[in-house]
Amino acid sequence: MLQLAAPETALAITVLMVLAVDLIALRGQTVEQRFRAGMRVSIIGCLVAAIFTFTRYEGPVINLMNGLLVVDPQTDFLKVVLLILTIFTVMISASGKFTEHVGEYLSLVLLGTIGLMFLVSAEDLLMIFISLELASLSLYILTAFNKRNARSSEAALKYFLFGGMSAAFLLFGFSLLYGLSGSTNLPEIAVALKGRGLDPLLLVAIVTTVIGLGFKVAAVPFHLWAPDAYEGAPTPSAAFIASGSKVASFYILAKILTLGFAGAEGSAVWHGYVSGWTPVIAVVAAFSMMLGNLTAIVQSSVKRLLAYSAIAHAGYMLLGVLANTPSSRTALLFYVITYALTVLGAFGVVTVVEEATGGDAITNFAGLSSRAPGLSLCLLVFLLSLAGIPPLAGFIGKFFVFSAAVGADAGHLGLLWLVILAILMSAVSFYYYLQVLKQAYVLDAAENAPAIKVPLVTMFALVLLAALVILLGCAPGLLTRHL
Amino acid sequence: MLAWTIYISFIGVLVLMLLPREAARAARIIALLTAVAGCMVAFTGSVQQPNPGEVMTIVKVPWIPSIGASYYLAADGISLVLVVLTGLAAVAGILFSWNIEKRTKEFFAFYLALIGGVYGVFLSFDVLLLFVFYELTIIPKYFLIARWGSTRKEYGAMKLALYSFVGSHLVLIGLIAAWVVARAQTGHATLDLMELSKVSFPLGFQHWVFPLVFVGFGILAGLWPFHTWAPTGHVAAPTAGSMLLAGVVMKIGAYGCLRVAMVLLPEGVRMWQGEIAALAVIGIVYGAGVALVQRDFKFVIGYSSVSHMGFVLLGLATLNTIGLSGAVLQMFSHGIIAGLLFAVVGRMVYDRTHTRDFNDLQTMQLGKLLPFAGVTFVLAGVASMGMPGFSGFVAELQVLMGAWRVFPKITMLAGVGIVVGVAYILRAMQKAFYSDAPVAGKSSHDHPLEPISTPERIGAMMLIAASLVIGLFPGLLLNWIQPCLNSALFERLLKGGSL
């Protein structure tokens, strides 16, 4: 069993080591030096965990204790992705000046990652809930980490209260499911529910589960925490919430719905509505796309803009969930992973600009292309990928998800209405991404604004992320063959 | 070999990005060399193509096998015509932006990226790949206008970018729907244009998807009433930007209409044929009428583009060989002539006088001060009117002959458009260059205008020569276009279809 959980165990040991190194060895050093040392330890820990995962990759599928820990190639691959995202998060945090508690900060990031890794392996309601809470509690604290900024605490409180509510909803839904089926294991629940039809209890269970998980993925109408949390949190924390947490949450959302509620799908096709979970998701997706994109237009803070764009993207990803075919699962995972890489990069750029100019308003990006040409080229790649411009990864992801959604009901093109909405909304999104790029490339910086010095580690991470975004757009096969 | 037109352009972009910022002169020379190399490749590659009627595969490798996308570059006669046009327009545009001093290397990097994308559109025979190149052109267009443009540049740039993006998204809806239906019908996923063109899409499907895809591409071709980006975009753009917009970007829209919308959905075209022709003629007459009353010299040319692109769309709507070949020829011809007109207005006149208002230009007697500009404008103007001997005449004549067979009534209206076309060119010529209005108080002799430079002379002569050669020997291009229209790819479109 320890062998199966070896990556997570390695990470847990790393957590302790990071704390110990920071507390014992680095007392009295500057924050910068402590961050550098802590970063090295964390990255090595993540790499060791990734190696553990790799050594058993494409090994047999193992289901431990009836779904408490399921290990198969797909979960292994996702764990590696989560570890990579964590490494990048740590790298863009390394130049941060938002805290002196370096050890605590890094160990919380790693603890969150452990929670997310257990989450993707869980097929049992209890395990899902526990690992979700482990991840969420770390994220709440990470949000509050900037002690000198009242906005940070406010955001964390808001995030925590909403999170607590949604956890209660999720637990309520799970308890109903257990009552209906007598099991906490997802496939067993599906078997027990088969043939029961949609009784009111099951409907309540579906709705409360969607509420609980809809909060995690920031879908409308459970999105209210997201803009404040993204804006108030230290930028690297926001990047982690938007990337790693999103990947795992979407994976588990798709797993619960397609595995646990198999047989209660219903249908969201035009003129062919059947109640079940897909219509619920369809409505949530439609509202997320509309509200996210339309509200992002009027934002003046780039972090808030990215938050609303995250809500919109959650809408597109939900299309991948509700298409519910084998190819749509691949499409969804491709989308979520490339989105996570892209948004991590975007937040990385925001981190640097914030440090250099003192704010994240859109106008702070004015003249970025002359103040930091490399940085603004990375920003160009990330934002255009988010907008869905080919040949970047974001476009291919959108194409996969949209075509999977239309293809789910190929005979009647029943989900086309939702895809048309998604495509038109994505055309809207181009406007606000272009507003940021306009500042960077078209407008001039204020007189004698100095060049922005980008920390070497951050620049390295950003260039790598940008290269990945381009590479996965040009050769998506590199990723899809693992999904 | 033709694929190198794309690669050379993007290599040029990379080289320019690596240059130090101050190296303006080096940037110009590198850009020019890249464009000339691209143009030479386009020429020799096209001439060497043994059989322009057939689709010649250049490269075909699997790209995303799970959805049936491949990296499939190929060319038939129609592609060849447009690739050659792109090569000429690219070189001319650089010659006319020799005076860009502000962030020169970035200007040319965006410029070459745009050119590379356009070559890509004309050579792609995979629908997704074509779409990729199509969208790739949006970003450079935006920055070229917003950064280096003039009058209301940010507004014009954003309007153009949003129109293009919305248009391409309409296309995307159609593509995804067509992909799903084709997969359901044939059992395997494909985005190969040749294979998709053999699929018979259901009639109801064609009826609603065709307008989506056609309008999506048509927005960029200046299809009335979605043309409004064109005048503002052209006016806001720097000279080379307007030359490329009118010269090649509007052509990728029209090319998409023909290559994707019409070839894949032939029954759809037949259902909407009348509506397209009507919109095209409205565009011709409206564009010409509005051009007649403009005060801004560049707006005259901007609206004239809408009018001339109306002929392309009218030719497409005829669905007969002569009309279609006229449409393709008109794409080439308008690309050359509009480029030249914008060069005169933007580079030769505006960059020297800093005004485009006819009331100011009237008092300057530019015909005497800049005789070369005057003569160039006269030549480009008469070519634009459709004077025999220039390319515009052959193209518009074929379009009208084709259209006369199908829609005689609205073809007569298009004739009105030609007459108005003569009027607005003569008006612009008279007001801008040969006015006898009294010279204003502050004589322009006080600050002598910078004489027309050598790059400008070369560029202007090159474009005039191209228009003359095609006007006198249209067979050069028609020998590429016509066999292509008789090939298997266009069979369903032109011969009543398989349904």
Q: Which of A266, A410, A440, A279 is nearest to A350 (CA)?
A: A440
Alpha helices in B53-201 (DSSP H): 77-95, 104-123, 127-136, 138-148, 153-186, 193-196
The two three-digit tokens of residue A236, written as one number: 């690297």
Minimum-distance CB partner of A407 among B63, B161, B180:
B180
Predicted local distance difference test score (pLDDT) of residue A379: 93
Rounded to whole angstroms, how far apart are CA atoms A183 and A188?
Answer: 6
The two three-digit tokens of residue A219, written as one number: 């879908």
Let me know if residue A179 belongs to a domain: no
The two three-digit tokens of residue A241, written as one number: 């919430």
Q: Is A391 on the interface with B (CB under 8 A)?
A: yes
In a 10 Å sphere around its CB, with 0-12 CB exposed, 13-18 middle and 19+ buried, how is residue B475 labelled?
A: exposed
CA torsion sign for A103, A104, A105, A111 is: positive
**In this predicted model, what pLDDT tens digit does every residue of B49-89 receive, in sequence order?**
878 788 888 888 998 888 888 999 998 889 999 999 999 99
Rounded to whole angstroms, how far apart are CA atoms B88 and B29?
Answer: 17
**Cβ pair A128, A119 in contact under 8 A:** yes
Task: Report the Cα B470 to chain-centroid distance in Å.
Answer: 17
Number of CB pairs, chain A paired with chain B, less than 8 A apart: 81
Rounded to whole angstroms, how far apart are CA atoms A427 and A406?
Answer: 18
Note which residues in 61-80 of chain A have CB less than 8 A from chain B.
Answer: none
Rounded to whole angstroms, how far apart are CA atoms B80 and B75?
Answer: 6
Rounded to whole angstroms, how far apart are CA atoms B364 and B341?
Answer: 19
Q: Collect all residues of chain B within an 8 Å Cβ-Cβ radius of residue A430.
A: 161-162, 165
Q: How far is B295 from chain A (nearest CA, A)?
A: 29
- With CA atoms as reference, the chain B residue closest to A330 would be B66
Which of B173, B188, B209, B212 would best serve as a mutation to test chain A binding (most A beta carbons within 10 A)? B173
Predicted local distance difference test score (pLDDT) of residue B10: 92
SS3 state of residue B61: strand
Predicted local distance difference test score (pLDDT) of residue A393: 92
**Cβ pair A150, A105 in contact under 8 A:** no
Domain boundaries, chain B: 3-440+451-494
| Bridge partners, A361 (sequence order) | A301
Tokens 């509506």 locate to B275
- With a CB cutoff of 8 Å and minimum separation 6, the contacts of A266 are A198, A273, A274, A275, A276, A277, A278, A279
Predicted local distance difference test score (pLDDT) of residue B362: 81
**Cβ pair A389, B135 in contact under 8 A:** yes
Can you state the angle between helices A326-357 and A456-474, rounded to 10 degrees? 150
**In this predicted model, what pLDDT tens digit does every residue of A271-326 receive, in sequence order?**
777 778 888 889 999 999 999 999 999 999 999 999 999 999 999 999 999 888 88
Rounded to whole angstroms, how far apart are CA atoms A145 and A354?
Answer: 16
Q: Is B146 on the interface with A (CB under 8 A)?
A: yes
Partner-chain contact B139 A389, CB within 8 Å: yes
Rg (CA), chain A: 22
| DSSP output for A83-136 | HHHHHHHHHHHTT--S-S-HHHHHHHHHHHHHHHHHHHH--BHHHHHHHHHHHH
Q: Which of B108, B127, B122 is nearest to B74 (CA)?
A: B122
Alpha helices in B219-265 (DSSP H): 229-236, 239-244, 250-256, 263-264
Predicted local distance difference test score (pLDDT) of residue B359: 83
Which of B66, B137, B154 would best serve as a mutation to test chain A binding (most A beta carbons within 10 A)? B66
Predicted local distance difference test score (pLDDT) of residue B498: 37
The larger pLDDT score, comparing residue B361 to residue A115, is at: A115
SS3 state of residue B365: coil
The two three-digit tokens of residue B20, written as one number: 């130090």
E strand or H helix at A190: helix A186-193
Predicted local distance difference test score (pLDDT) of residue B499: 37
Let me know if residue A158 belongs to a domain: no
pTM of the model: 0.92
SS3 state of residue A323: helix
In a 10 Å sphere around its CB, with 0-12 CB exposed, 13-18 middle and 19+ buried, how is residue B442 labelled?
A: exposed
- With CA atoms as reference, the chain B residue closest to A377 would be B17
Q: Collect all residues of chain B within an 8 Å Cβ-Cβ radius of residue A423.
A: 169, 172-173
Rounded to whole angstroms, how far apart are CA atoms B276 and B230?
Answer: 19
Give chain B's residues under pLDDT 50. Answer: 497-499
Q: Collect all residues of chain B within an 8 Å Cβ-Cβ radius of residue A403.
A: 67, 176, 179-180
β-bridge pairing A62-64 and A69-71: antiparallel
Q: Is A327 on the interface with B (CB under 8 A)?
A: yes
The domain total for chain A is 1
CA torsion sign for B137, B141, B142, B147 is: positive
Let me know if residue A123 belongs to a domain: no
Which of A330, A383, A438 would best serve as a mutation to test chain B binding (most B beta carbons within 10 A)? A438
**In this predicted model, what pLDDT tens digit does every residue of A54-64 receive, in sequence order?**
887 777 788 88
Q: Is B199 on the interface with A (CB under 8 A)?
A: no
Which of B19, B152, B180, B209 would best serve as a mutation to test chain A binding (most A beta carbons within 10 A)? B180
SS3 state of residue B296: strand
Q: How far is A291 from chain B (nearest CA, A)?
A: 19
Q: How many helices (H) and strands (E) does chain A have?
A: 20, 2
Minimum-distance CB partner of A430 among B128, B131, B162:
B162
Q: Is this complex scored with an ipTM above 0.95?
A: no
Average of per-residue pLDDT values in chain A:
88
In a 10 Å sphere around its CB, with 0-12 CB exposed, 13-18 middle and 19+ buried, how is residue A178 labelled?
A: middle
Predicted local distance difference test score (pLDDT) of residue B497: 41
Let me know if residue A380 belongs to a domain: yes
Q: How far apart are the first and last CA of chain A?
A: 25
pLDDT tops 80 at residue A27 = no
**In this predicted model, what pLDDT tens digit does every residue of B131-166 receive, in sequence order?**
999 999 999 999 999 888 887 888 889 999 999 999
- With CA atoms as reference, the chain A residue closest to B66 would be A477
**Cβ pair B103, A369 in contact under 8 A:** no
Q: Is A423 on the interface with B (CB under 8 A)?
A: yes
User: Which amino acid, B11?
Assistant: I
Q: How far is B285 from chain A (nearest CA, A)?
A: 31
Q: Is A395 on the interface with B (CB under 8 A)?
A: yes
Q: Is B158 on the interface with A (CB under 8 A)?
A: yes
Q: Collect all residues of chain A within an 8 Å Cβ-Cβ radius of residue B161.
A: 430, 434
Q: Collect all residues of chain B within an 8 Å Cβ-Cβ radius of residue A408.
A: none
Rounded to the nearest 5 degrees, what angle is found at the Cα of A272, between the Cα atoms of A271 and A277?
A: 125
Q: Collect all residues of chain A within an 8 Å Cβ-Cβ radius of residue B172.
A: 399, 402, 423
In a 10 Å sphere around its CB, with 0-12 CB exposed, 13-18 middle and 19+ buried, how is residue A338 labelled?
A: buried
Predicted local distance difference test score (pLDDT) of residue B441: 54
Partner-chain contact A395 B132, CB within 8 Å: yes
**In this predicted model, what pLDDT tens digit does every residue of A203-220 receive, in sequence order?**
898 899 999 999 989 988
Minimum-distance CB partner of B177 among A330, A400, A406:
A406
Predicted local distance difference test score (pLDDT) of residue A134: 92
pLDDT tops 80 at residue A415 = yes
SS3 state of residue B60: strand
Provide the domain limits for residue A409: 265-483
Q: Which of B307, B306, B288 is nearest to B427 (CA)?
A: B288
pLDDT tops 70 at residue A7 = yes
**Cβ pair A39, A96 in contact under 8 A:** no
SS3 state of residue A71: strand
Rounded to whole angstroms, how far apart are CA atoms B442 and A200?
Answer: 87
